[in-house]
Structure 1
Amino acid sequence: MPLSVADREEFLAQPHVAAVSVAAGPDRGPLIVPIWYHYVPRGPLWISTRPDSRKGRLISAAGRFSLLVHRIAPTTRYVSVEGAVTTMRPATDDDLRVIASRYLPADRVEPYVDFARGEYRIELAPEHWLSSDLGAP
């Protein structure tokens, strides 16, 4: 059963680990790797990565990517979103704190910010959505 817009947004606002997918070239399947993301309802959906990493270079070249977020309990639920890159800029320390705070305990946030300096904030403009809760009545 597809999720409502409100359920989809609430699900994405939770700190799940996502899989990012981006075209990797004519003789390759897409690159698919786990990644942290940030989202608040009606706000931008964004990831951060180094611009010279493989995924950073591929996202820059393709100008778009997909993100899949899922869980398996209490029911199997997923949201997949695909769209164009709208922003690709150096991540600020505040950006890095925001995303790290979703996934790390408070005492690990600043060490992560120190580690992640140099990453870029890459925002996605959602164009295509898929979602389902496979345990919904």
Structure 2
Amino acid sequence: MALTREEREQFLAEPHVATVAVNATEEGRAPLAVPIWYAYEPGGDLWIMTGRDSRKGVAIARAGRFSIVVDRVSPTVRYVSVEGPVVATVPATREQLVEMSSRYLPAEKVDAYVDFAWREHGEQVVVRMRPQHWLSSDLGEV
């Protein structure tokens, strides 16, 4: 059964690991689909952080849009998929890295991870996507 707007937005706002999908930039390749952290608040834009020159970053910049899907299998089988245009790409800040890391990591792990990622991951960008097309379902207990 499809979720209501409120249900799908609330589910997307939870800290699930998403799969981002975007058209591949290389001839003869399937769309790129990889796991990623994301942030979303109901009614707003979704944002991700990625390397500016990463395969994912380049593909998103070229395509100008991407999709993400999040799911769970307990207590019910539920998913939300959203696709939309990129509305902004800006250099990432350390504060945004802290915000995103705090969403996914235990508090005692955030500082060490942020120090490592800020030093080792290279130039990062924040990509904002405006949710435009939604698919969602809750299949209940299977």
TM-score normalised by length of structure 2: 0.90
The one-letter amino acid of 1:134's match is L
Query: What is the CA-CA distance between 1:133 and the residue it aligns to?
Result: 0.3
2:136 aligned residue: 131
SS across alignment from 1:96:
helix
* Percent of aligned pairs sharing the same letter: 57
1:23 aligned residue: 23
Tell me, in whole angstroms, the C-alpha distance in 1 between the residues paired with 2:100 and 2:109: 12
1:110 aligned residue: 111
2:45–2:131 CA contact under 8 A, matched in 1: no
Unpaired segments of 5 or more residues in structure 1?
none
Tell me, in whole angstroms, the C-alpha distance in 2 between the residues paired with 1:20 and 1:82: 10
TM-score normalised by length of structure 1: 0.93
1:120 matched to 2:116? The reply is no
Q: Which runs of 4+ in 1 moved over 3 A?
A: none
SS across alignment from 2:130:
strand
- Using the TM superposition, name which of 26-35 and 73-82 deviates more: 26-35
Matches within 5 A, 1:1-137: 1-25=1-25, 26-117=27-118, 118-135=123-140
Query: What is the CA-CA distance between 1:81 and the residue it aligns to?
Result: 0.4
SS across alignment from 1:10:
helix
Unpaired segments of 5 or more residues in structure 2?
none
Query: What is the CA-CA distance between 1:4 and the residue it aligns to?
Result: 0.6
Give the number of equivalent residue pairs: 136
